[in-house]
Amino acid sequence: MKVLVTGGGGFLGEAIVDQLLERGDQVRSLARGDYPHLREKGVEVVRGDLSDAAAVSRAVQGCEEVYHVAAKAGVWGPYQAYYQANVVGTENILQACREHRVARLIYTSTPSVVYGEGALEGVDESVPYPTRYLTAYPETKARAEQAVLAATSETLQTVALRPHLIWGPGDNHLVPRIIDRARRGKLKRVGDGRALVDSVYVDDAARAHLLAAQALATHGRPAGKAYFITQDEPMAVGALIDKILVSGGLEPLTAEVPAKVAYAVGWVLETGYRLLGKREEPLMTRFLAKQLSTAHYFDISAAKQDFDYHPQRTIDEGMEALGAWIREAGI
């Protein structure tokens, strides 16, 4: 098939691209930046912004499947910037899929769409969206996810996947940030570090996207549904962070800050940054404090049943690969 991957040069996007190429598909990538290494792999690289409907339409034209991975992520920033990338961009993708009669749209969502402030312990996809969000990213992703699921029809089948805390070789966000902050002495455990959280190895997250697309094409059970995607191995957040640090040749964390203090610091920093007009991300935010101190792990039975998703690696196996990549890349 001819397939479009938005954000094909990103961490998860490139993993999906690689698996599609291995499957034998013709792959096109849409992103704002240029990615010459994708061209070397045989990918057709198209530059454009998701908020530009004409550019999105040109990228979608001729494709049978679309993997909409690109998004503005983060825990801080003006709402409008997130809205343009995540909501308007997704609306443009949906319109282009209808216009060019794309058969399947696989949307990369996030479990954060159902995260308010409390713990999520072993919940399935029936858990409702919260009435209040602590930051713009999960709120705009929730709006986009709802639009995607509502758009499924006889001519366009859609599905939303919610991978949680993606990590692995090639990570340009989570792992480098953890290692950098630890080296600068800016990383502390929030709370006692015992809250259970889910994560997912990047290759398993990518594979889930292809499995969901295949299920849409064969029996259609995932159409119009959202699915949590994890390693199915909940782990204490402190232990997970320590494993990443050890993979990077660093010592486990010993310093910690009470969860309530971290939340208060986040509120103060957010308020100060907003008043001063700062655009960089604060060291701590309310959302980050809650994510690091409350449980959020998920029941992935639906993904197992509807498109036979099962993780191919354990966390420890993935950490071995991550450590090798960190040493080779000099992170």
Task: Report which of 133, 136, 198 is spatially closest to residue 166, judged by C-alpha positions.
Answer: 198
Distance between CA atoms of residues 43 and 12, nearest Å? 16
Question: Catalytic residues, which ones?
Answer: 137
Return the structure tokens found at 318. 């993935």
Task: Report which of 204, 123, 169, 90 is spatially closest to residue 329, judged by C-alpha positions.
Answer: 169
Element (H, E) at 23: helix 11-23
Element (H, E) at 202: helix 202-218
Q: Is 259 left (phi over 0), alpha (psi -120 to 50) or beta?
A: alpha
Element (H, E) at 68: strand 65-68
76 bridge partner residues: none
Distance between CA atoms of residues 64 and 274, nearest Å? 43
DSSP string, 119-158: -EEEE-TTSPPPS--SSHHHHHHHHHHHHHHHT--SS-EE
